């Protein structure tokens, strides 16, 4: 979920599959027989290793759909999050758009009139099941083109043993409730003194720099847009936020040996699961990854600059259907994909949050049972702030952030200048 929700990392391998066997990737959107249509689907990989790749989910989904819909074949190409958006862009530019794409942004394609609307694709039941805030975020000029796939919110994870050994918390490892950035800084200094390799991981590498940046901006009282939904990337609170990271976190050697601009989210997660990171911002998928490695951890909201309440960041990943001439078949597949059992199968596999009301209700019930750790993520979802995905310029702005935001926290970095450059380009692409 990349904000990626979510935007999550995976291997770089490209996996091309039909419902039963792996195949080569052919031309997109073709007919395979007199009455048989092949739907070409491009999706992101949410796994962190080959064993939990999203390939298995899509393979099972395609098999179930094909069984229920004779005459429609489904072939899915699964790419890592670091390349899937670019792959779809290349396909569209080459005139070979997939029928369906599950990626991080939709609005630029909607603005170019390349997508079917949700109303043109989905049954009334499916369309009405989306959580309201997520459905609204999928609209361009009041028409929904982006269909939320999964969602996530973010919390601050901390390694209980490392913080206890450093004297930040008691030996029981419980009950830490940092409120302000001063609390974070103090904890990171103690971790550094205890020789923790990375007191606070700050992944501003291109994998998901836009997410890490937005979390900190919101906690600093800013964000990518103002209350009128105009870009405010170069606002005073945002500048102060990045100055804090530059001077207090990076400048004091509290963010570890890897330069933040070169540190990707999954690399930070991997280091956390190895016991090398004291604190970092994480999404629900980190729960399973850390538990699998036996890491004892706690989770709290990211503290804010002054200790006052600020909204959390929410991320949704998006599904869209391109105008390839297969509107009816694509709609059938999407209705099938959004059936509660299929939504649950995916969200449970990766500990993500559902984008549908039925899925949300099921998760709420589960948080008191087999998934209690998801409760704080789920609680934060309705009031969270999402990327400005409805702006057709967002894909380009997000890429600009990925490429440049790491420069702001380097020694001698100039947050005001970098943010002004990103903001100027963003406003030019989205005049109001």
Delimit the domains of the chain by residue range. Answer: 15-153+315-380, 155-300
How far is the C-alpha of 96 from the C-alpha of 28, rounded, in Å? 6
Amino acid 380: pLDDT: 80
Which whole-number Å values give the CA distances from 166 to 189, 191, 196, 280, 336, in the listed order?
9, 6, 9, 16, 51
155-300 CATH: 3.40.190.10
Amino acid 5: pLDDT: 36
Contact 148, 1 (CB under 8 A): no
How far is the C-alpha of 256 from the C-alpha of 279, rounded, in Å? 11
Q: Residue-wise pLDDT tens for the chain (432 aa)?
A: 444 333 333 333 344 444 433 333 433 444 444 468 999 999 999 987 888 899 999 999 999 999 999 999 999 999 998 899 999 999 999 999 999 999 988 988 999 999 999 999 999 999 999 988 888 889 988 899 999 999 888 999 999 999 999 999 988 767 799 999 999 999 999 999 999 999 999 999 988 899 999 999 999 999 999 987 899 999 999 999 999 999 999 999 999 999 999 999 999 999 999 999 999 999 888 988 899 999 999 999 999 999 999 988 988 899 999 999 999 999 999 999 999 999 989 988 887 888 998 887 877 776 665 567 788 888 887 778 889 888 888 888 999 999 999 999 999 999 999 999 999 999 998 876
- Domain 15-153+315-380 architecture: 3-Layer(aba) Sandwich (3.40)
Amino acid 395: pLDDT: 83
Q: Is 155-300 the same fold as 15-153+315-380?
A: yes
CA angle 400, 403, 404 (to 5 degrees): 85
How many distinct helices (H) and strands (E) make up the chain?
A: 18, 13
Find residue 231's DSSP bridge partners: 225
Beta strands 100-103 and 37-44 are parallel
């Amino acid at each position: 979920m990349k904000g990626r929700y979510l935007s999550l990392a995976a291997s770089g391998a490209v996996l091309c599959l039909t419902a039963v066997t792996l195949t080569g990737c052919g031309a997109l959107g073709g007919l395979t027989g007199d009455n048989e249509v092949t739907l070409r689907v491009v999706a992101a990989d949410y796994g962190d290793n080959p064993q939990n790749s999203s390939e298995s989910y899509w393979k099972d989904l395609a098999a179930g759909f094909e069984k229920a819909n004779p005459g429609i074949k489904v072939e899915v190409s699964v790419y890592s999050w670091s390349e899937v958006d670019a792959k779809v862009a290349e396909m569209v530019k080459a005139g070979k758009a997939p029928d369906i794409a599950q990626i991080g942004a939709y609005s630029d394609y909607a603005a170019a009139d390349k997508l079917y609307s949700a109303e043109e694709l989905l049954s009334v039941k499916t369309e009405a099941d989306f959580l309201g805030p997520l459905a609204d975020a999928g609209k361009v000029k009041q028409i929904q083109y982006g269909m939320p796939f999964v969602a996530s919110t973010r919390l601050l994870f901390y390694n209980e043993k490392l913080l206890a050994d450093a004297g930040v918390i008691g030996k029981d490892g419980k009950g830490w409730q940092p409120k302000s950035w001063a609390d974070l800084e103090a904890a990171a200094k103690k971790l550094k003194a205890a020789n923790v390799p990375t007191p606070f991981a700050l992944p501003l590498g291109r994998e998901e720099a836009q997410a890490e940046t937005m979390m900190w901006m919101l906690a600093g009282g800013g964000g990518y847009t103002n209350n009128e939904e105009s870009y405010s990337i170069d606002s005073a609170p945002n500048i102060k936020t990045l100055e804090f990271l530059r001077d207090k976190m990076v400048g004091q050697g509290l963010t570890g040996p890897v330069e933040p601009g070169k540190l990707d989210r999954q690399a930070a997660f991997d280091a956390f699961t190895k016991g090398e990171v004291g604190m970092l911002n994480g999404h629900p998928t980190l729960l399973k990854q850390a538990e699998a490695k036996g890491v004892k951890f706690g989770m709290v909201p990211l503290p804010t600059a002054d200790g006052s309440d600020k909204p959390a960041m929410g991320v949704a990943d998006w599904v869209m259907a391109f105008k390839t001439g297969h509107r009816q078949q694509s709609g059938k597949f999407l209705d099938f994909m959004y059936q509660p059992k299929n939504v649950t199968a995916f969200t449970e596999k990766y500990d993500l949050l559902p984008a549908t009301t039925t899925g949300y209700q099921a998760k709420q019930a589960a948080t008191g049972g087999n998934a209690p750790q998801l409760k704080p993520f789920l609680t934060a979802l309705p009031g969270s702030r999402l990327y400005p995905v409805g702006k057709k310029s967002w894909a380009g702005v997000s890429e600009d952030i990925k490429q440049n935001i790491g420069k702001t926290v380097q020694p001698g970095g100039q947050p005001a200048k970098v943010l002004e450059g990103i903001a100027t380009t963003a406003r030019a692409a989205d005049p109001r």
